């Protein structure tokens, strides 16, 4: 049977409408396609060059080093997971910003990240969850399915080092529906934050994909991890004890507390326990 020309045109138009509508639905659902892109992404090797520092060195006593000006004793690189609970007696250093409690070093980078995302997308992000006490973590754990919330004492929220962020109307996995949410996932490494529970790394982190949970680890570590697709577990494992690594203006070394022989000439130094028995020393050399 011959279809009349006008019906053929109608069928073509209707097909196009359905096709565009379907494409629109898929594009809208960033929480569908963004993780697929993340899984398929080919990451370069981490930008860490093993190096032998040149020139003079000083063997520091831990207390003398941490008493120096331009030295921060942080918990930036503290590994917190089910195998590495928070150290006994850990008390987080906290400031409160807009009602959200976080480590003091996180505040300025968070404000910069939020403002830059807003400038680019017109959407402001907010904090849904910040520091949690052990009791608050216990309440969340009781309400969550397995693999969603960390055990008590094993949450970065208890460490005061993590924030759960959202865009208005787009929280949780739907954060990825918003351009602001995807942008946070793309650029947080430049602000000292990592997506701590990436897609495809659930077997390493022990936690399901959480594109909304940002963890502060500081510069330059966050950029190295995000650019090379490494989790904090993999990054710490990569740093061989007592070896030195260069990335940009920074020298990094994972050392025991009594092996702090540091090259001279640094302008700032951060020292953070990694919760595996070592400290990670980050020297800015310029
Ligand atoms: Zn979280």
> Is residue 99 located within the same domain as residue 15?
no
C-alpha–C-alpha distance, residues 239 and 84, integer Å: 17
**How many structural domains comprise the chain?**
3
The reply to whether 156 falls in a domain is yes
Q: Model confidence over 238-278: pLDDT tens digits?
A: 999 999 999 999 999 999 988 899 999 999 999 999 999 99
Instruction: Choose one of 190, 216, 242: the last residue of a domain.
Output: 216
> Is residue 96 located within the same domain as residue 123?
yes
The pLDDT of residue 152: 84
The reply to whether 222 falls in a domain is no
C-alpha–C-alpha distance, residues 108 and 253, integer Å: 25
**Residue 25 reports pLDDT greater than 90:** no
The pLDDT of residue 4: 84
> Is residue 202 located within the same domain as residue 143?
yes
> Is residue 37 located within the same domain as residue 60?
no
> Is residue 178 located within the same domain as residue 238?
no
Ligand 1 centroid, distance to 150 Cα (angstroms):
9
Cβ atoms of 252 and 244 within 8 Å: the answer is yes
Instruction: Choose one of 216, 251, 276: the last residue of a domain.
Output: 216
Residue of 210, 233, 234, 237 with catalytic role: 210
Ligand 1 centroid, distance to 20 Cα (angstroms):
36
Average pLDDT over residues 106-124: 98
31 classed as catalytic: no
The reply to whether 108 falls in a domain is yes
The reply to whether 275 falls in a domain is yes
Average pLDDT over residues 221-242: 98
> Is residue 54 located within the same domain as residue 38?
no
Q: What are phi and psi of 11, to 5 degrees?
A: -60, -40
Q: What are phi and psi of 6, to 5 degrees?
A: -65, -30
> Is residue 97 located within the same domain as residue 205?
yes
Q: Who contacts 35 (Cβ-Cβ below 8 Å, separation ≥6)?
A: 176, 199, 209, 211
> Is residue 130 located within the same domain as residue 115?
yes
Strand-strand pairing, 193-195 and 244-247: unpaired
Ligand 1 centroid, distance to 3 Cα (angstroms):
58
Domain that holds residue 2: 1-42
Confidence category of residue 138, pLDDT binned at 50, 70, 90: confident
Q: Model confidence over 157-193: pLDDT tens digits?
A: 999 999 999 999 999 999 999 999 999 999 999 999 9
Ligand 1 centroid, distance to 213 Cα (angstroms):
4
Average pLDDT over residues 126-154: 86
The reply to whether 221 falls in a domain is no
């Amino acid at each position: 049977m011959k279809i009349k020309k006008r019906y053929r045109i109608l069928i073509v138009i209707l097909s196009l409408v359905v096709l565009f509508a379907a494409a629109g639905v898929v594009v809208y659902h960033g929480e569908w396609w963004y993780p697929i892109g993340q899984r398929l992404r080919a990451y370069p090797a981490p930008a860490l060059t093993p190096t032998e520092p040149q020139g003079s060195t000083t063997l520091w006593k831990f207390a003398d080093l941490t008493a120096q000006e331009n030295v921060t004793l942080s918990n930036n690189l503290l590994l917190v997971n089910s195998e590495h609970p928070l150290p006994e007696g850990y008390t987080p250093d906290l400031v409160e910003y807009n009602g959200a409690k976080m480590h003091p070093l996180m505040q300025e980078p968070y404000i910069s990240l939020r403002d830059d995302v807003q400038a680019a997308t017109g959407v402001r992000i907010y904090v849904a969850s910040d520091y949690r006490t052990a009791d608050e973590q216990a309440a969340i754990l009781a309400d969550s399915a397995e693999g969603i919330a960390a055990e008590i004492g094993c949450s970065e929220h208890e460490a005061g080092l993590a924030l759960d962020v959202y865009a208005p109307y787009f929280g949780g996995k739907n954060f990825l529906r918003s351009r602001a949410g995807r942008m946070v996932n793309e650029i947080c490494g430049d602000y000292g934050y990592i997506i701590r529970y990436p897609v495809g790394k659930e077997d390493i982190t022990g936690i399901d994909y959480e594109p909304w949970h940002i963890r502060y680890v500081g510069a330059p570590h966050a950029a190295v991890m995000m650019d090379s697709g490494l989790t904090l577990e993999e990054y710490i494992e990569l740093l061989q004890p007592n070896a030195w690594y260069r990335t940009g203006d920074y020298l990094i070394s994972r050392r025991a507390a009594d092996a702090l022989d540091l090259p001279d000439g640094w302008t700032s130094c951060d020292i953070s326990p990694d919760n595996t028995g070592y400290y990670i020393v980050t020297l800015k050399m310029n």
